[in-house]
Amino acid sequence: DPNSFEYLLKQDFIFPVKVIPNEVIATTCCICCDSLQNESSYANETQKHHEQQQSWSVVFLDKCRHHFHLLCLKAMYEAGTKHGSLQCPHCKHIYGVKVGNCPAGRMVCVTIPQSLPGYEQYDTLYITYNILSGVQEPGHPNPGKKYSARGFPRCGYLPNNKKGQKVLRLLVKAWNRRLTFTIGTSVTTGESNTVVWNEIHHKTEMLNKHGHGYPDANYLDNVISELAAQGVIDDNADDD
């Protein structure tokens, strides 16, 4: 079961610590804010009395070498979107493939015979997203509760040049990994339990009427960085 913590531990990026190294011993676990020399604050009574002393276990992540209580990492993983991937809560390094909790829906892209300011020699890629309201699932903020979906279909505009096409490929990847939207509170409307954009900015208008359009010479590079921060990069070997 790729959603279980046992599955996560079988990936090759979490390692148990037998003896806490000197440079780490004085640090805290950033999940529970308690010393790594103490028990995990997330340990329950059964785990505290577990003969293998699970509640004292410390693990570290392969690449960034950040240390945590095993049971803190377990609690964090189980509260998240799971799927065998993990983002270091300290430095945001992504292990495995990060998957979000965007509700099901449709993403469609067509070209339209108009150009965007700043990209006069190109026509335009027009993306639409459609998501319907529904009931929240495990991994959402309030499982079992309804969520609304306002303003759909929502759209995004990209210049139909090489870089715009690359961004489109990345946005498709992000969509397939359920990263484009999430359920939360809208900064714009204040409504909670609703579908909101999730840290991958879109140009939702051709012109800059409301500040979400073109010209914006940095937009394509900025969104490529935002996608990279979610682990979405252009890599032909990886074609999901």
Give the footprint of Zn ion on this chain (CB under 5 A): 64, 66, 88, 90-91
What residue has token string 């000197």?
22
Closest approach of ligand APR to the CB of residue 189, in Å: 6
Choose between 25 and 108: whose C-beta lies nearer to ligand APR. 108
Which of ligand APR, Zn ion, none does residue 188 bind (CB under 5 to 8 Å by kind)? ligand APR
Residue nearest ligand APR, Cβ-based: 151
Q: How far is the CB of 204 from ligand APR (least distance, A)?
A: 4
Closer to Zn ion by Cβ: residue 43 or 88? 88
Residue 56 backbone dihedrals phi, psi, to 5 degrees = -95, -10
Lay out the site mask for ligand APR across 154-193 (x = CB under 6 A, - = otherwise): x-------------------------------xxxx----
User: In the window 196-225, what residues touch ligand APR (CB under 6 A)?
Assistant: 196-197, 201-202, 204, 210, 212
Closest CA to 111 of 102, 103, 101, 119: 119
CB 184, CB 195: distance < 8 Å: no
Least separation in angstroms between residue 171's CB and ligand APR is 13
* Cα separation, 193 vs 190, whole angstroms: 10
Q: Toward Zn ion, which CB reaches closer, 64 or 97? A: 64
- Shortest reach from residue 112's CB to ligand APR, in Å: 18
Residues between 9 and 38 with contacts to ligand APR, criterion CB under 6 A: none
**Facing residues of 184 across strands?**
194
State both tokens at 104.
């099901």
Give the one entry of ligand APR, Zn ion, none that residue 183 binds, where binding means its C-beta sits below a cut-off of 5 to 8 angstroms depending on kind. Answer: none
Helix axes 219-229, 162-176, angle to 10 degrees: 30
Residue type for 4, please?
Answer: S
Q: Provide φ and ψ at 77, rounded to 5°.
A: -60, -45
Three-class DSSP category at 229: helix
Count of Cβ atoms closer than 10 Å to residue 43 Cβ: 23
Instruction: Examine residue 148 and tell whether it contacts ligand APR (CB under 6 A).
Output: no
